[in-house]
Amino acid sequence: MIQGLQQRKDSLSMQEIVTTYEPDNSLKKGYLSIFNQIFVELKQNRWLTYQLFKRDFLSSYKQSFLGVLWAMILPLVSIGIFIVLNRSGILNIGDIGAPYSIYALLGMAFWQFFSTGLVGCSNSLVNAGPMILKINVSKKSLVIAAAGKAIVPFIIQIIMVGVLFVGYGRAPSILGLLVPVFIIPLILFTIGLGFFTSLLNGVMRDIGNIISILLTFMLFFTPVLYGKPKMGILVTLTKYNALYYLVSTPRDLVLNGAIPEWKGFLIVCLLSVFLFIGCLFAFHLTETRVAERI
């Protein structure tokens, strides 16, 4: 018994962390220390983040016959609609320089990576509401893990694209192997925005609905399922649409092995990094407020 006590004390003195809670905690400690806090928290909670991701993944496909195959259905339906619209001459897909189905499916893979991730993030805190109220769990991990929902559908869609390449007897560019690097800005953009929307959604449930509507609109205003527009208002919209660069750059890389709009992409990359850091920072300052409003 005494030995047990001694052991406990030893282990306590080794790893004992002193935590203080007081209003405006972060503000008192100064801005610079916040980056350090965020970094330490993210690093400490890597395993938790993975476990939360696993929880989302396992649970979403467990009680379903088609399981992961659902990830294929939505993009196929959207692409099908566009094929029908195009063949009947209602919609002009434009010059895309590749078989339409490959072009569209590849675009949808990146687009859905963004939309699934953003929706997942936005709902992450609200869905975990009962848990957040009972256990002090890292909310950053919850948001990041929720963005992970986009990974499995993305991989499946990439495999489908591979099948299509074989089917058409074409080969993707070897530079396509760089896709994992070129989607980093997309990931930062998604999670950064997700940090922001998850907080707002925690306080006002309207945000979740607004995001679903906006995403539908954005899909049609962004050249994902059609080529880059050459006239009309869409030209201007596309020029200032960050998502266009985030989606089309990795796609061009796979299809043609080139980045035609590298300037725009570079600007959007910087924007994504700043968005991610800014939103993570804001999230850190305000996350404790959310638990009590959820």
Partner 1 sequence: MDDETVISVENVSKKYCKSLKKSMYYGAMDIGRNMLGLTSKPGRLRKGEFWALNDISFEVKRGETLGIIGPNGAGKTTLLKMLNGIFWPDRGKITVRGRVGALIELGAGFHPLLTGRENIYINGAILGMTKKEVDEKFDDIVKFAEIGDFIDSPVKHYSSGMYVRLGFAIAAHSQADILLIDEVLAVGDVGFQNKCFNKIGELKREGITTLLVSHNMHTISTFVEKIVLLNCARAISFDNVTDGIKEYAQLFTHKDDSEIERISSGNDSTKFYEVEIRKRIFKPGDSFTIVLKYRSELDYEDVDVDIAVFGAHEPVLYFQATNKAYGRKIDLPKGNHSLKMEIIDIRLNSAMVRIAIAIWSKRREVLLFWWRIPIKFEGVDYSTGRNFLNVTYELNE
In whole angstroms, the minimum distance from the beta carbon of 57 to partner 1 comes to 10
Closer residue to partner 1, CB minimum distance, 108 or 132: 132
Axis-axis angle for helices 262-291, 139-147 (nearest 10): 140
**Residue 223: DSSP 8-state:** T
In whole angstroms, the minimum distance from the beta carbon of 222 to partner 1 comes to 28
Closer residue to partner 1, CB minimum distance, 13 or 88: 13
In whole angstroms, the minimum distance from the beta carbon of 160 to partner 1 comes to 27
Rg of the chain, C-alpha, whole Å: 22
Closer residue to partner 1, CB minimum distance, 68 or 200: 200
Closer residue to partner 1, CB minimum distance, 96 or 285: 285
Give residue 237's identity as a one-letter amino acid code. L
Task: Please give the C-alpha separations between residue 242 and each of 106, 160, 173, 223, in angstroms, as whole numbers.
Answer: 18, 26, 24, 11
Closer residue to partner 1, CB minimum distance, 28 or 263: 28
CA dihedral 224, 83, 227, 117 (to 10 degrees): 0
Contacting residues toward partner 1, per CB under 8 A = 1, 4-5, 7-9, 12, 15-25, 27, 31, 47-48, 51-52, 54-55, 58-59, 62-63, 130-137, 199-200, 203-204, 282, 285-286, 288-293
Instruction: Give the separation between CA 45 and CA 42, rounded to whole angstroms.
Output: 5
| 238: Cβ contacts below 8 Å, ≥ 6 apart | 222, 223, 228, 229, 244
In whole angstroms, the minimum distance from the beta carbon of 6 to partner 1 comes to 9
Instruction: Give the separation between CA 64 and CA 17, rounded to whole angstroms.
Output: 43
In whole angstroms, the minimum distance from the beta carbon of 55 to partner 1 comes to 5
